[in-house]
Chains A and B, each alone.
Chain A
């Protein structure tokens, strides 16, 4: 994939800008890893579970009339797992500690999601053009 490096840079930037974020995985909506920072061992597992959670989240938002998917936040006793939309076929899943600034996480992850969307969807559009 032509943009893998750029996507990973974006994930690294998100992690650097938000204290207490431990890992970020960019995954396709069908559960495959596109990039991860740092290269965590269980990225495949995270991506697969993200796809499963996304399936329920999408349907829940849809049946309750909340529109298209934006984000999903799970707050556990020892931290957060959050998934943010990043364009047509991709999402970012962020692992963070219990002390993370959720307001900042939302802000930075939404921005990162939009930039990853630009990188990936921009590439898809260019492929269709040629």
Chain B
């Protein structure tokens, strides 16, 4: 079991091509923890903005009458991948992991796989 800080560090070091990682509470839009990012990618801004993305998708699914859950959301930019993975389980609902990847260096399938195991290991 890993705490927030360890899980974020783990994601930052073990996943190839990571630019930044954040653990975000989408009931408030605030980040519980961030690592990486730097001046080119303000992860607190990303946390607030992507909270709107997640909420919009949840609302859309409600309106469509889809009784299902979001596993992850992939956003493909020209030079980056942004991956949002919603957490589930005790004490983890209402949270998502946000991952920004460099498109040239990242392996998307591997990144998703690793993110899944980081989620399983995470204890908030």
Task: Tell me the A residues contacting B by CB distance below 8 Å.
Answer: 19, 100-107
A100 surroundings in chain B (CB, below 8 A): 29
Are the CB atoms of B28 and A107 closer together than 8 Å?
Answer: no
Binds A, one of B8-16, B47-55, B110-118: B47-55
B52 CB contact (under 8 Å) in A102, A104, A106: A104
CB distance from A101 to the nearest CB of B (A): 4
Q: Label chain B's interface by main secondary structure.
A: helix
State how many angstroms separate the Cβ of A114 from the closest Cβ of chain B: 15
- B interface residue count range (under 10 / 10 to 19 / 20 to 34 / 35 or more): 10 to 19
Give chain B nearest CB distance to A109 CB in angstroms.
12
Query: Residues on B close to A: CB < 8 A?
Result: 24, 28-31, 44-45, 47-49, 51-52, 55
Given A103-B51, A104-B29, output 20 extra A-B contacts at Cβ < 8 Å: A101-B28, A101-B29, A101-B48, A101-B52, A101-B55, A102-B29, A102-B30, A103-B28, A103-B29, A103-B30, A103-B31, A103-B47, A103-B48, A104-B48, A104-B49, A105-B29, A106-B30, A106-B48, A107-B44, A107-B48
